[in-house]
Structure 1
Amino acid sequence: MKILYLTMESVETDPILNSQVIPLLEKISMDVLIDTVTLVTFETNGIEISNNTFNHKPIIKKGKINSQIQLLKFLLLNRKGYDVIHVRSYMPMFISIIVKKILNKRLVFDPRGLFADEVLYDYKATSFFNVKKYLAKTIKLVEPYLYNQSDSVVLVSNFFKDYIVDKYHVNRDKCFVIPTFSVPPHRNNNDQYVSFRSTNKWEDKIVICYSGSLEKWQQIDEILHFCKYASTYSNKFRFCFFSKDISAIKEKVSNYIPSSLCFFGSFVPAELTMALSEGDYGLLFRDKSIVNQVAAPIKFKDYLCSGLEVIVNQNIGDCAEVLNDTGFGFVIDGDLTQPSVILDKMSLRSLERKNEISKVATKNYGLQTSFESYLSIYKGLL
């Protein structure tokens, strides 16, 4: 079987390709069932990934319409190079459906979220005539067609699956839930990683971690209100903030918590779980919107695979259900500003407890599980 994996994400600008897409394709391409795997991305400068296990074909970005025309040409000219088109983005689905019908190819739609709703969420405060809002409204109208014309649909959460099946009357049997994945902490002998916990002499403290940005949709103000309350509630709490923009998050945090109680770090994905594993709890809050209700944040898996218990609110995909089923954290239902009930239950996590959480999470949300799930879908298309 020959797989063509198509995404609008770029090697140049989207780190998620390195953390999610490339590891998955490397594993898929090595299976005996798979003859070839070709990754197609849209690039400004035509950067090509050098990889021994799969092929990479960049398409040069030249405007939205022109890019789709170039994609159509590529798919038609390379028709013998694939049996299955696996589409990770919304926009290429329109061309992919045309090619599916012309060439009788199999089509997997793997949207990762509700694209149109995400755009409308981002631009909800702008004027009605905003171009991106208009495009999103148009896509929203044809969204049912994209799902129903696919041979298989991959959703990242059970809530997402139920939403699509109920709203767009998609055949439930062709919908599969495959959450985002993460990897457990792994330290090579040559790693120069230095423990911030021992350096700061926090061995007897409860360390609360936040990994993310300052974007409002990540509810950073609510996160910091929780941390501020914890810092005044008991001296047993300390706080770690992991973000790309260290200076910005330091400035933001300084308005809430004394710097003496905090550690700030910036790590590539491969190092992040190692740093997170020194903590005890991870924070993940979102507001109530359909965008968040169908989501499956990678951060949630990063926390669990690192051995942390997680504190979430009710608005994030299957996260609350997972924690209620496993006991690997707490779900805040209601007021985030008075978390004393949660704080009283929090304690220093033992190494045995962290290993238990990491082991279960890696089994449920590891790369191997994602690989086996995708391979099963491909086999079903034979």
Structure 2
Amino acid sequence: MKSILYILYDGLTESLAQSQVLSYLKFLTTEGFQFTVISCEKQDKYHKSGEDIRKVCKEHSIDWHPLIYHKTPPILSTLFDINRMKRKAEALFQEKKFDAVHCRSYIAAFVGSHLKSKYNCKFIFDIRGFFADERVDGDIWKLENPVYNAVYNFFKKKEAIWFNEADYTVSLTYNAAKHIRKSYPAANISVIPCCVNTADFNYLEFPPNLKSNIRNSLGLSEDAFVLMYHGSIGTWYLLQEMMGFFKIVKSKIPNSKFFFLSKEEVGYIHEEAMSQGLDIEDIIVKSVPFDSVPKYLSIADASVFFIKPVFSKQASSPTKLAELLSMGIPVFTNSGVGDVDSIIEESGFGYLIKKFEESHYNQAVEKFLGSKRFDKENMHRYTVENFDSSIGADRYREIYKALLSTPKHELITG
């Protein structure tokens, strides 16, 4: 049995890690791979769900070693966490003699690169995005500040080293893979987008009577048109523009409601609505556990998400897109993010907004109102064939098998 050390700086108690890491590891343990996981956990989330995650790991023979995540002071706290992960990884390596180290994103790659250099193990660089450029594009690192400028250049140099020395690089998008190959033609790259458990996100699981009950619990009439946004808003999702889009929807569909299935502060969302002259009675905000998300998505008539279209977002694969398509919900989204353009154009299950302007919003909504009703069965089938979790797990299995049985120069990339 091949032994793999999996390192992620984001916590395993995060919802995204449960859907995009733990679900894969559970499958891969049945394929002859043994996993040890090091993660950095936010204390509140660890105290809330740490025991549940530990039970899942134990049930699937995953050896989990959680560390506490530190946020402050900036930079120094991250260096402190890297050092702790490195020490923990070395101690575990002495005991288990891992065949490979799989690093999810850049912070974990500091540890993976070190282990490869010291123990000559295989190193998988699972980038998840262009980390340093995301910090700049998100106005987190302001390059006019000499400290952040130095940090950015340091990460870009490290990025070049990791792309060159990694035995395998995993990209979320074909757009990002194309960019990487231009600068690092020798890199072994596989594209694995964010996938979804289509058995959980299946519109057939939610009959009309259940959807009626959910609408009633939210104070929604049966004929209300529900525009859905689900997930956090944070740095990348454009609340102002999405609210402007809803304003157009409301003008054309008077019984519309904008439902935010999100942990964001209600006041923050209401404030933006009021600033655009919208009635907060038309805005619903609710937070639910991850396993309840499909149930609430089932009441949506359409969905919207706008993401800041900057260079670093070429590497982004919005999980919510696969979740929405799997639920048979048509999507309004903007162009210039990851592979979203090609997915929407290929599938025909949504509308691309080229510019954040009223004329473009109007055009998209008019197309929606003039189109035939979307076929939920076709949307779900498309998602099963392209974004089911089993597809992502199979691609990881192919990487592991190729990497742990074949010399690097013979690897097949895709």
- Confirm whether residue 135 of structure 1 aligns to residue 151 of structure 2: yes
Find the counterpart in structure 2 of residue 73 from structure 1: 87
Task: Name 2:21's counterpart in structure 1.
Answer: 21
SS of residue in 2 equivalent to 1:179: coil
Counterpart of 1:108?
124
Match among 279, 295, 298 for residue 319 of structure 2: 298
Any residues of structure 2 matched to 1:239-250 within 5 Å, and which? 239-248=258-267, 249-250=269-270
Matches of 1:349 and 1:244, distance apart in 2:
33
Higher helix share: 2
Unmatched tracts of structure 2, length 5 or more: 71-76, 406-414
Letter in 1 for 2:342: E
Which residue in the other structure is 2:186 paired with? 171
CA displacement at 1:295 relative to structure 2:
0.9
Secondary structure of residue in 2 paired with 1:343 = helix
Distance (Å, rounded) in 1 between the aligned partners of 2:192 and 2:4: 18
Question: Is 1:253 aligned with 2:252?
Answer: no
Counterparts in 2 of 1:154-233, with a 5 A limit? Answer: 154-166=170-182, 168-171=183-186, 174-184=188-198, 185=201, 194-196=213-215, 200=219, 202-215=221-234, 217-233=236-252
Query: Where does residue 74 of structure 2 map in the other structure?
Result: none
Which residue identity does 1:121 align to in structure 2? D
In structure 2, how many angstroms separate the alpha carbons of the residues matched to 1:212 and 1:327? Answer: 23
Aligned length: 376
8 Å Cα contact 2:142/2:148 also seen in 1: no
The amino acid across from 1:93 in the alignment is: A
Q: Distance in 2 between matches of 1:61 and 1:307?
A: 37
Aligned-partner Cα distance in 1 for 2:306–2:219: 27
Give the structure-2-normalised TM-score. 0.81
Equivalent in the alignment of 1:40? 38
Is this contact kept in 2: 1:242–1:266, CA < 8 A? Answer: yes
1:56 equivalent to 2:67? Answer no
CA-CA distance at 1:353 after TM superposition: 1.4
Identical aligned pairs, as a percentage?
A: 22
Which residue identity does 1:283 align to in structure 2?
V
Q: Distance in 2 between matches of 1:233 and 1:6?
A: 49
Task: Map Cα deviations across residues 94-123 of structure 1 (whole Å, 9 max, x no partner).
Answer: 332232133221111101001101111233
Give the TM-score of the pair, scaled to structure 1. 0.87
- CA gap of 1:225–1:197, structure 2 versus 1, over 3 A, is farther
Question: Could you tell me whether the CA contact under 8 Å between 1:5 and 1:37 is conserved in 2?
Answer: yes
Q: Give ranges in structure 1 of 5+ residues lacking alignment.
A: none
Corresponding residue number in structure 1 for 2:345: 324
Q: Name the CA shift for 1:132/1:44 in 2 (closer, same or farther; >3 Å).
A: farther
Cα–Cα, structure 1 residues 23 and 135, in superposed 2: closer, same or farther, change >3 Å?
same
Distance 1:353 1:369, change over 3 A: same
* Secondary structure of 1:182's aligned partner: coil
Report what 2:408 is aligned to. none
Distance 1:6 1:240 in 2: 35
Q: Which deviations, in whole Å up to 9, do the C-alpha atoms of 1:196-238 show, x marking residues without a partner?
A: 2797565445432122444463111111111101211332543
Aligned positions of 1:342-353 closer than 5 A = 342-347=364-369, 353=375
What's the secondary structure of 2:333's corresponding residue? strand
